[in-house]
Structure 1
Amino acid sequence: MNRFDGKVVIVTGAGSGMGAATALRFAAEGASVVLAGRRANKLEEVAARCQGGHTLVVPTDVSDWDQVRALIDKTVAQFGGIDVLVNNAGVAVMGSLTGTSLEEWHKVMNIDVNGVVYGCRAAMPHLLARGGCIVNVSSVSGLGGDWGMSFYNAAKGAVSNFTRALALEYGGQGVRVNAVCPALTMSEMTAGLADNAALMSQFAERIPLGRGAEPEEVADVIAFLASPDARFVNGVNLPVDGGLHASNGQPRVGL
């Protein structure tokens, strides 16, 4: 049985990585999937791979409120409503506080935070009408700090706490709001890291499962949170981190 037969799902940042894997997963379970992102050609490529449901490609810059409203309007015009919103679009900037520009700060906040706020705000009336849900893509970087990623930490920390606040505000009205918090996930965003063997060895040392996640492994958890199987799960920032948060941070001793 397909859990999302007859459901309408919007996925932002759907042109690659976790977003693409999420769109494919929902389509495979029967959903009508709206693929949003800045690169129309990438969205079309993913849409062509979707099987099991209908698709709609809507090129969208999530940092632009008018474009996000247009995304919601086009979705409702095409499919009649919205059941699930997955706010996945994001960008990361690495560097020290004084070594990164204010332009980079605004870029991270506009996409990673404003994009989530805009999506939730525009979609909420339609989600309320159908008892839908939201899954935000935060990060383990939204649960703790990183070296040289203060801008990204600030943005994902905002997403994590925004998720909690919306869960309080709308849970009683029938809209669940949760987030996934992936650790290292092998995608276009992390391609440069994957080429650094020494760094990847350090990640393998810290992650008990010994590797980064595949995008499909995060998409599986997103689909769970959006499904009836998670009907009593609300306000959760769920680490998808291979056990990273099981450690208290001390180095390996005794084994």
Structure 2
Amino acid sequence: MADLLTEVKDRVLYLTLNRPDKLNAMSAEMMGALVDNLSRAATNPEIGAVVLTGAGRGFCSGGDIGGMRERNENANAGATQTIEDRVAGLRRGEEASLMLHEMAKVTIAAVNGPAAGAGLSLAMACDIRIASDAARFGTAFAKVGFSGDYGGTWSLTHLVGSAKARELYFLADVIGADEALRIGLANRVVPAASFKDEVHALASRIANGPTIAYGYMKANLNAALNHEFNELLDREAWGQTMTGRTEDHREAVKAFLEKRPPTFKGR
């Protein structure tokens, strides 16, 4: 069975990490498929939002520890990649985090269970994180002598602040869904019994909303992390002008005056 499952429902693309027997630990096939599907979704007008989740009881446990052991044993035997090849391969996989963060569509991590290491990094690269009350979060890297990848140090610092991010990385303690919500790592916590329904309700609401406006909003919010206020004013003026030329804007104004819900078409 494929390591990544895909489904489109109500303009929502569901990408499901699918190695449930290993808590959806990453594989080369999984990450290659994830990058490919995100790349296609980014330019597909039929996709209004993307949900990343995991099969079974976990979201993603990060790197495959068994694979790490095999790689280390091969290295000891002299059969190993060069450092340059290893870095290049890791960067190819890390493009998944970059696309989740930058693509002009709203991305949602549906954290149904444990999210650790690079799996947590993937969740943090998304715009919104909805956590089941069964979810658990941990950076995990310190436990296996790694420094971290997939953008997690950047994302966690911006989500919870430098002091808390350092604590979570250095100690690698696991926190529950309620604590993740309290510190700003999760946006919402919902009961496991209604998790899928609540995720879909939110995702389909976004996917059928003013998706062009969302794209400009996301670009502005990303820029706000690193740009000065005056630069944001310029970006907002441009985006506001461009979205004011869309069919969605005209429909929303008309619907407001007619006292009815708008029907957005993403154009």
User: With structure 1 as the length reference, what TM-score do the two structures score?
Assistant: 0.29
User: With structure 2 as the length reference, what TM-score do the two structures score?
Assistant: 0.28
Structure with larger Rg: 2
